[in-house]
Amino acid sequence: MNIWISEIQKIIHLVMGNSGKATGVEMAVCCVAAVIMSILVLKLTGRAFDFPMAERARSSAVIAICILLAMAAAAAVNIYAVPHIKNLALARWIPAAACVLVLLAAVIPLAMFMLKSNYLQTLVAMLISIGAAAGIVMLVHGLFGMLAEGDKDFKKTKERTDTINQILDK
């Protein structure tokens, strides 16, 4: 069980764009923002496509199932298949291919059933929802980067002000 948890944590860090610099708070904010945005966009896209059952609870259930199945597929592939693959380029893309396969074979048909829609419209709505989640993750990372950069500049300004105040006090 521990290997599954560690693989899922690695996947979350990879998907959220963590380059080793992100704090736990940043990762949590990114995850929550991505989930909320994908639920909202799926609901709105479903309404735009006239899905009769496109409401917040059903959209939330579809997104939750999508996340769980995609994480489980990527973790399973990372644990059981990737160690046996010799081609490094192929080993990097197999987890993403597993997620796409789960999306096309399991999540879209389930979402069709839950939202009462057809396959192509559901696929487009899910892709738009995934794109919105990716966009919000980029925005949140940019916001945290901007705040960190501003904090560094503020510290430099504070040091200069302190130095000038010390010179003036003498």
pLDDT per residue, tens digit, the chain (170 aa), is 788 888 888 887 777 766 556 677 888 888 899 999 999 999 999 999 999 888 889 999 999 999 999 999 999 998 998 888 888 888 888 888 999 999 999 999 999 999 999 999 999 999 999 999 989 988 888 888 777 777 666 677 777 777 777 777 77
**Rounded Cα–Cα distance for residues 88 and 152 (Å):** 38
**pLDDT at site 34:** 92
Q: What is the reported pLDDT for 77? A: 92
CA-based max dimension of the chain: 78
Q: How many domains does the chain fold into?
A: 1
**25-34 long-range contacts, CB within 8 A, separation 24+:** 26/140, 26/141, 26/144, 29/140, 29/144, 30/137, 30/140, 30/141, 33/136, 33/137, 33/140, 34/133, 34/134, 34/136, 34/137
Q: Determine the structural domain holding residue 53 and report its residue range.
A: 2-169
DSSP of 62-118, one letter per residue?
HHHHHHHHHHHHHHHIIIIIGGG---HHHHHHHHHHHHHHHIIIIIHHHHHHHHT--
